[in-house]
A and B are shown apart, each in its own frame.
Chain A
Amino acid sequence: MSELIDPVEYQDYLGTTETDDLGEITRKEVRRYARAVEDDNPLFWDVEYARSQGHDDLVIPPNMAPSILEVGAGTPADDLRDDGLPPSLGIDPEFPEAVQTIKGERELTFHQYATAGDRFVRESTFQDIYQKQGSSTGTLTFTVATEEYFVDESLISTNKQTHIHYDPE
């Protein structure tokens, strides 16, 4: 049992769903994402090419929407944790300040491609919290959330996201 996190305290939150409006993903954002990856796929860059391939506009890189961490303006800088992350990490109640968090496995399913100009809504459901004994890091706490991304109520992608939380001491 970690001294910092007791999974029992989070049981009431299992199954709860939060809905967030990600807003529109624009052509500029698609191109900036592709630039950050240095991915020259013309589906991300050339509107006419994308349309010639049957898409309405530039294809949004499939893993782009699930990769956006803070969907609004973001947490005020004074309220960020020492590691820079926002305090809630999408989990309520919040974990103690000393807890370190890293991304675990992501299981992405792409039901269809979305295109620039589409407005995304995300529904995140807190699915599970459990602990394992790490070999060198003490007790590891795992949280699992399922995120569904919609455009006009049409399911675009699903992300089963695991986070791993540990006590750096």
Chain B
Amino acid sequence: MRLIDDISVGDRLDTLEKTFTRPQLFRFSAIRWNPHRIHYDPMYATEEADHPDVLIHGPLHEAAIQQLLMNWVGTEGHLVELNCRTVGRGIPEQPYFVEAEVTAIEQSDQRIDFDVWTHQDDTACAEGTASVRLEG
């Protein structure tokens, strides 16, 4: 059992490392029914939209952060908030890192707040805040 008393402001969760592949981006476009070319059409992405490659979707950054936090909280709580914005251009086939740091602990309602962010090497991809609530 994860006790809220064992968690401190400033704690960093273990980094989640992923590599999003082009087929994954295609699948994510498909399950969202999102026809936006910047996620699957490299010619459009690079020549028309001036991106380095096709781009990782905003909600895919979000889903990676969600994965880190839901894995961490396990069955002992719930993800209750996730605020996220894309700050850089994440691309497929490159290592991708998901990070979270505890910023506040609210004992009264068992709530833990985090700063969350993702990056590829030194390129920031997404950043925001999130909260989980422990049960019991």
Residues of A within 8 A of B (CB): 29, 32-33, 35-39, 41, 43, 53, 61-63, 66-71, 74-75, 77, 80, 82-86, 100, 102-113, 162, 168
Contact = CB atoms under 8 A, between A and B. Distances in A.
A80 B35 contact: yes
16 contacts: A32-B31, A36-B60, A61-B63, A61-B66, A62-B66, A67-B62, A69-B33, A82-B48, A83-B38, A83-B49, A84-B36, A103-B58, A103-B86, A106-B62, A110-B81, A112-B78
A63 B83 contact: no
Given A38-B18, A84-B36, A105-B128, A110 B49 contact: no
Count chain B CB atoms within 10 A of each CB in A53, A63, A68, A109 and give the residue with the most.
A63
Interface of B: 18, 24, 27-28, 30-38, 41, 44, 48-49, 57-60, 62-64, 66-67, 70-71, 75, 78-86, 128
A109 B83 CA distance: 8
B34 A69 contact: yes
Contacts of B34: 69-70
A38 B80 CA distance: 21
Closest 10 CB pairs of A and B: A105-B85, A67-B59, A84-B37, A36-B27, A69-B34, A103-B58, A36-B28, A84-B35, A37-B63, A107-B83
Given A62-B82, A105-B85, A108-B82, A39 B58 contact: no
Given A68-B31, A83-B38, A106-B84, 20 more contacts: A32-B31, A36-B24, A37-B64, A62-B82, A63-B66, A70-B33, A70-B34, A71-B33, A74-B33, A83-B48, A84-B41, A84-B44, A85-B36, A100-B49, A106-B82, A110-B78, A110-B80, A111-B80, A112-B78, A113-B78
A132 to B, nearest CB: 14
Contacts, number: 114
A107 B24 CA distance: 24
A82 B48 CA distance: 10
Nearest to A50: B75
Given A63-B62, A100-B49, A74 B35 contact: yes
Contacts of A85: 35-36
